[in-house]
Structures are given as C-alpha cells and as structure tokens.
Chain A
C-alpha cells in the first residue's frame, strides 16, 4: 500500500515556466522530506518540513507542509534545465516512506 501519492507522475515544461508538485496522504506525519534523485545516483535531501503550515524556501524552490501534516507541495519558479530530475516526497512516521516520485524534465 502506497501511503504517499505524488502528482503529477511526469511533467515536461519549458525553461522559465512555473510548476507545482503535490504530495498527499491520509496519514499524519511527524515531518516530511523532499529529495531529488538524478540518474545513476541516490536521492539527495532538499528540505525537511516539520510544523503544520510551515513554508521553506530554497532559492527558486518553495516547500509547504499542510496544516494537518498530511500533505505537502513543492513549487518551482522559473524552472531551469538543472532542475530536471526525480522529485520524491518522504513522510516520517517511525520510518521514512517515499512516494513514487514526480519525474520533471525542463526543456531549454
């Protein structure tokens, strides 16, 4: 059973456009993490959000944790080809469980 649903599964957009990726669950998490994975490598942590309603910014990336700590979103402003990759959300309960990911491709 996949506890974390990510949408969309695939996204291909032009450089300079904005996009939002969603991560939803019926479970409450103590915290939620976002990772990015590039081909041939393991996932790398981008951010951890802990408090319901929390918003964190990492340059052009904005992460939000839902008020009920069941969902999260990742918004990218003015996407660049370097943002291409697999974005994974991960919910923390007594272990870390991952969504299936959003594969993002930014066209130059």
Chain B
C-alpha cells in the first residue's frame, strides 16, 4: 500500500512569490491535514480537509490556503512568501475526520524562502 506522497520535496523561492505544494494521501483516506514544522515552533496545524471541504483551520494568515479534490488529493498554497515561511510542510492523511485516528505523514516539502 503506497504511503502519503508529497511533491515537490525541496524548493527555493524568493520573497513575494507564491508556492503550491501537493499531497496524495493513502488510498481510501479521505482526511488530509497540513502542518508547518520549524525548529522554533515545532509542528503547527494549518488546516484539515475532508471530502473536499475545509473542516478545521489553525492560526495562520490568509496567505495560507488549501483545497482538496474529489480523489482526496490536496494542495496548499502560500502567497506573497515571507522569509518566515521557510519550513518543512508536512501532509498527513487518515481515515476519519478530526484526529480520531492515526495520522500517516508524508516526507514533507522543504521550502526555503530567500
């Protein structure tokens, strides 16, 4: 059974640009959550999608957005990039909504903003 796949694995952007990250969940998993991981703040919850609808959102500015497609694949977008957006962005999938089960994580997309 294939795991969670995130693309791209690494990317470098400059301030002011925008970026789109992609996540393919484990087959059959309908919930996809996104987290930002930095050395100073740890893993911070961005949002969760279930059946193409955003069900939960963390405390991030509106520059961070996401969506989920009918096949459960998800994308997140960050617009007007800032230096502080440099981080590892992790996607996790699970079968149920709201953290009721085990999160299966991808390897992450490491974003560097220059």
How far, in angstroms, from A35 to B108 measured CA to CA in the complex? 15
* CA–CA, A92 and B56, complex, Å: 13
Tell me which of B42, B99, B106 contacts A99 (CB under 8 A): B42
Q: Does B85 reach chain A (CB closer than 8 Å)? A: no
Nearest to B101 among chain A residues (CB) is A48
Shortest Cβ gap from A46 to chain B (Å): 10
Given contacts A94-B56, A98-B42, contact A40 B99 (CB under 8 A): no
Q: Is A108 located at the chain interface by the 8 A CB criterion?
A: no
Whether B98 contacts A95 by the Cβ 8 Å rule is yes
CA distance A35 to B67 in the complex (A): 26
Are A100 and B99 touching (Cβ within 8 A)?
no
Q: Are A95 and B4 in contact (CB under 8 A)?
A: no
Contact present for A92 and B42 (CB under 8 Å): no
Q: Name 10 extra pairs, CB < 8 A, besides A42-B92, A94-B98, A98-B42.
A: A33-B103, A35-B103, A88-B42, A92-B99, A94-B99, A95-B45, A96-B45, A96-B103, A100-B41, A100-B43
